[in-house]
Amino acid sequence: MDFQTEIARAAETLAQGGVLAIPTDTLYGLAADALNPDALDRVYAAKGRPADMPLPVLVSGWAQAIQVAVASPDSELVARRLAEIHWPGSLTMVLPAAPGLPERLTAGRDTVAVRMPDHPVPLALAGTLGRPITGTSANRSGEPDITDPDELRRILAPRVDGIIVSGPKPVGGASTIVAVADGGVSLLREGVLPYERVLATLETFGTVK
CA distance 106 to 150: 31
Give CA–CA dist 176/54, Å, rounded: 16
Per-residue pLDDT at 207:
59
pLDDT on residue 87: 98
Cα angle 149-151-154, degrees, rounded to a multiple of 5: 110
- Which residues of the chain fall short of a pLDDT of 50? none
Q: Return the pLDDT at 176.
A: 97
Confidence at residue 206, expressed as pLDDT on a 0 to 100 scale = 67
Query: What's residue 139's pLDDT?
Result: 87
Rounded Cα distance, 97 and 112, in Å: 5
pTM recorded for the entire structure:
0.94
pLDDT score, position 208: 53
Strand order in the sheet with 91-96: 133-134, 57-58, 111-115, 91-96, 176-181, 184-189
3-state secondary structure 94-142: EEEECCCCCHHHHCCCCEEEEECCCCHHHHHHHHHHCCCEECEECCCCC
Are the beta carbons of 123 and 116 closer than 8 angstroms?
Answer: yes
Peptide bond into 88 cis (omega under 30): yes
Domains and CATH numbers, the chain: 3-205 (3.90.870.10)
CA distance 209 to 203: 9
Torsion angles phi and psi, residue 6, rounded to 5:
-60, -45
Total residues found in the chain within this entry: 209
Is residue 92 a contact partner of residue 72, using CB atoms and an 8 Å limit? no
